[in-house]
Amino acid sequence: MKQFDVVIAGGAMAGMTLALALNQSSHGRLSIAVVEPYQTNHQAHPGFDSRSIALSYGTVNILKQLSLWNEIQDVATPIHHIHVSDRSHLGMTDISSDEVATDALGYVVELADVGRIYDELVAQCGNITLFCPQSVNQVTRHIDRVTISLESGEVIQGKLLVAADGAISTCCQQIGLTMSEHDFFQVAVIANVSIDQAHNHRAFERFTDQGPIALLPMSDQRMSLVWCLRPAQAERVLQLEDNAFIDELQQAFGWRLGRFTQVGVRASYPLLLRYREQNVSHRFAIVGNAAQTLHPIAGQGFNLGIRDVVSLAEEVSQSLTDPGSYTVLRRFKQRREEDRRSTIELTSSLVHLFSNDYLSLQIGRNVGLAMMDNIAVLKQPLLQRTLGLVVR
C-alpha cells in the first residue's frame, strides 16, 4: 500500500495548484498524491477545457509567491480597464489600472494553457505522484491516516485527504458532508468571440434583465464570453446559427467593442450556488468548487478557491510531520470563514440586484453605479474585491 503525506482528489485547477503549492511551501519534503479521473489531454479534460478565467491582481500575487506566475504569464492577457454598466440605463462605473497604480487589474488565461503548464511542472516534481485516470471509490478514516480505495482496486493512504473534485464531490459524499444549493434560474452560455476593433485590454460586465454579460480580453483580438440567460432563452440561443447568435449578442451587449465578427464553439452550464459550510472534518479538507461553487458574476469563484488553496498550503507547511492534524485543520477552517461568507454573500446579492427589471431596483442600482463612479470612498469596496485584496 503506497503511503503519502497528502492525497488530493481532483487534478484540475484547484487540485493541481494545491499540489504545486504544497510542494513549494514544504520545499519538496511532503509526498503528495493527486487522483484524477480524466487523462491530461486538455481538449477533453473538463477542468482544462476551452473556457477562460480571470485571475485577480491578488491571485496573481499568490501565484508569484508560489513561483507559478512566470510560466503562466506568457499565456496571460492583462486587463487594464473594467467597464460595468446596466443595459438601457445610465448607471455605469469604470475601473482602470491607472487609478490603483498597478500594471493590470487582473489577467485572463485559457484553462487549456494552464493545464499544459501544470502538467510540465508536476512532471518535474519527484515527490508528486499522479494517479490518472483514476477516481476515488471509498474513503475510510482512521485516527492517524486516511485509506483511499481507487476504482482500479488500488489502495493508497495519506495523513490528509483534500477534496478538490468539483461541486458534486465524491469524497464529500463519502464523508457525509452536506451541501446547500440555491438555483439562480440562469444558464451561462460560454464561447470565444472575435471583434473588428482592438479590445485594448478592456473587460466588460453588462447587466441585463436576463442576467449579466461578461466579456474578457484574450489574445488575437478575441473576447471570452459568459452570457447569463434564463434557461429557455439559453436553450434557444444555443441552437442559433452563428450569424444569428452574433446578431442577438450584439443587440444585448451593444457596440462598445465594435462589431462581433465570429463566434467559436458554444457550451453552457446551469448557474447554481453550491456551498458546504463545513470545509474540514477529521483528516479531511475541501478546496475550490468542492467547497463552494459561485455564480460567475464579478468573477469571484476561482479567485476565492485559490485563496482556499494557498491558505491550506500555508497551514500544512507549519506542521509537515502531520499535515492532517486537528490543529492544522482548525486553523485552516477559522481563517477561511470570513472570506468565504463575504464573497458568497456579495455574489448572490449582485445576482438578485441586477438580474431583474423591477423599477425600484433599477433606480437604486443605477444611482449606486453613478455614485461609485464619482465618489472614491464608495468605489473602494468594489475595488478591493475586484483586485482580490482581501484578508485570508
Instruction: Provide the b/e sequence for 145-178 (b: ≥16 CB within 10 Å).
Output: bbbbebeeeeebbbbbbbbbbbbebbbbebbebe
Q: How far, in Å, CA of 146 to CA of 157, rounded? A: 6
Q: Which residues pair with 93 in a beta bridge?
A: 84
Classify residue 135 by burial, with Cβ atoms within 10 Å: 0-12, 13-18, 19+: middle
What is the CATH classification number for the domain harbouring 119? 3.50.50.60
First to last CA, the chain: 36
Q: How far, in Å, CA of 35 to CA of 130, rounded? A: 6
Count of positions (residues) in the chain: 392
Domain assignment present for residue 367? The answer is no
Domain assignment present for residue 308? The answer is yes
Structural domain count, the chain: 1
Domain assignment present for residue 325? The answer is yes
CA 353 from chain centre, in angstroms, equals: 22
Domain assignment present for residue 39? The answer is yes
Domain assignment present for residue 343? The answer is yes
All cell numbers assigned to 172: 464529500
Domain assignment present for residue 373? The answer is no
pLDDT in tens, the chain (392 residues): 899 999 999 999 999 999 999 999 999 999 999 999 987 554 555 544 568 999 999 999 999 999 999 999 999 999 999 888 775 544 457 888 887 788 999 999 998 899 999 999 999 999 999 999 999 999 999 999 999 999 999 999 999 999 999 999 999 999 999 999 999 999 999 999 999 999 999 999 888 878 889 999 998 889 999 999 999 999 999 999 999 999 999 999 999 999 999 999 999 999 999 999 999 999 999 999 999 999 898 788 999 999 999 999 999 999 999 999 999 999 999 999 999 999 998 888 777 666 555 444 444 434 443 443 444 444 456 667 668 877 77
> Which single residue is written with the C-alpha cell 440605463?
89
pTM more than 0.85: yes
CA dist 1 → 48, 147, 154, 209, 265 (Å): 30, 9, 8, 56, 44
All cell numbers assigned to 51: 473556457
Instruction: Provide the b/e sequence for 83-101 (b: ≥16 CB within 10 Å).
Output: bbbbbeeebbbebebeeee
Domain assignment present for residue 8? The answer is yes
Compute how many other C-beta atoms are within 10 angstroms of the C-beta atom of residue 137: 15
Question: What is the DSSP track for 313-360?
Answer: HHHHHT-TT-TT-HHHHHHHHHHHHHHHHHHHHHHHHHHHHHSS--HH
Q: How far, in Å, CA of 281 to CA of 296, rounded? A: 28
Domain assignment present for residue 317? The answer is yes
State which residues form the domain around 330: 2-78+108-181+272-351
Contact 307, 392 (CB under 8 A): yes
> Which single residue is written with the C-alpha cell 508528486?
128
User: How do residues 190-207 score in pLDDT, each as one tens digit?
Assistant: 999 999 999 999 999 888
Q: How far, in Å, CA of 348 to CA of 197, rounded? A: 34
